[in-house]
Amino acid sequence: MRAEFSEFTYGFSLVSELATSLGCQAVPIFPSLKMEGQTCGGYDVEMDFGAIPFFLQFKLAEHLKTNNAKEAKLSAGTLNAPYRRFPITSSVTSKQHEMLVGLNAQHDHVYYCAPNFYLNADLNHLWQHGFVSDHSVFVNPSNIGPITDGARHAVCYNQASLSSGTCYLFSTPKPVTAHAITNLQTQLDEALRLSDIPIRALIPKWLSGLSEARAQAQELHRKRVVAIHEAREEARARDRETGFIDEDELEYLALRRPDTLTRVIEPQEDLPIIPRPGTADAKPEDPDRERLSEFARRVASEFHAQTFVLQR
């Protein structure tokens, strides 16, 4: 069963809750936005203090009710229903996971986050009591690692696995660390305690790191496409006489076209930046604030993740 709420609704509820639980002392303003009429970014960042970036990509989890579900059958008793599932590679052409693995190679605190609930009634109840994050699962993309085949992959978990801090990556049940919000808070507190480099000195490294992460992601995806090509060619050679083609095979056939394959493994063009109201003529007094805004915009547009910049 699919979640009754949208990914946006879940993300909003989680971000607004984390703004309190992570210790924000003012109403949070997303670094990718500017307040109209303000030339210094419209958000409160002490540029001479240390900071750490924290990234989230929101996922919606399906609810699987019986052991007839695919992963329950594959797990041989490792994962029993009811359980939750969110996709990692929804298609062979997606570079989403590789982009996050690349980002995670540059920054420690990068996470998929997904709810351990699926009903609107549960979301409303948890929202009212400030427990959305307590009933969410956080997983490092680097802990999952690169995907090197053409199969669809998903992260699954149930109450028993979460009690031991574990999710499972399918199609083969590979244990993956599941972080609770309390564990994340401890890690972030420790990282903040050690953050003594001023943020204005970190921003150039953060920006160049995005380019390195993207280049790594392109190479990881190229390897996955090659692996897909080899595996599918072997399968097609075995099954040539059957005439059967499934959805994965149709996607693969599209990848086999030379023009499409080149387009998949080459870097995509940067998305155009939509002008923001009230900022066309803005000349920030501190250009580092504009660079920080650029950093958040690039993470959102290229890596599809939400950025937090945390300071003590």
Cα angle 298-287-19, degrees, rounded to a multiple of 5? 55
Answer yes or no: pTM beyond 0.85.
no
* Cis peptide bond N-terminal to 82, omega within 30: yes
Q: How many domains does the chain have?
A: 1
Residue 23 has pLDDT above 90, yes or no: no
Give the pLDDT band of residue 24 (cuts 50, 70, 90). low
Residue 96 has pLDDT above 60, yes or no: yes
pLDDT in the model for residue 242: 66
Residue type, 114: A
Of 34-48, 110-124, 269-283, least confident by mean pLDDT is 269-283
Residue 252 has pLDDT above 70, yes or no: no
Average pLDDT score over the chain: 81
Residue 285 has pLDDT above 70, yes or no: no
In this predicted model, what pLDDT tens digit does every residue of 150-209 receive, in sequence order? 678 999 999 999 999 999 999 889 999 999 999 999 999 999 899 999 999 999 999 999
pLDDT, mean of residues 233-250 = 66
Residue 276 has pLDDT above 80, yes or no: no
What tokens appear for 209 in the block? 């790191």
Give the pLDDT band of residue 263 (cuts 50, 70, 90). very low
pLDDT, mean of residues 89-93 = 71
**CA pair distance 293, 117, nearest whole angstrom:** 33
| More confident call, 242 vs 255 | 242
**DSSP string of 43-68?**
S---TTS--EEEEEEE---EEE-STT
Residue 25 has pLDDT above 90, yes or no: no
In this predicted model, what pLDDT tens digit does every residue of 120-151 receive, in sequence order? 999 999 999 999 999 999 999 999 999 887 67
Q: Provide the residue range defining the domain that includes 84.
A: 1-312
In this predicted model, what pLDDT tens digit does every residue of 64-78 receive, in sequence order? 999 988 899 988 888
What tokens appear for 117 in the block? 């609930």
Residue 44 has pLDDT above 80, yes or no: no
pLDDT in the model for residue 250: 53
| More confident call, 305 vs 278 | 305
Of 71-80, 112-121, 196-205, 297-306, least confident by mean pLDDT is 71-80
pLDDT in the model for residue 161: 95
Contact 107, 55 (CB under 8 A): yes
What tokens appear for 180 in the block? 């609770």
Winning range, highest mean pLDDT, from 26-40, 191-205, 242-256 = 191-205
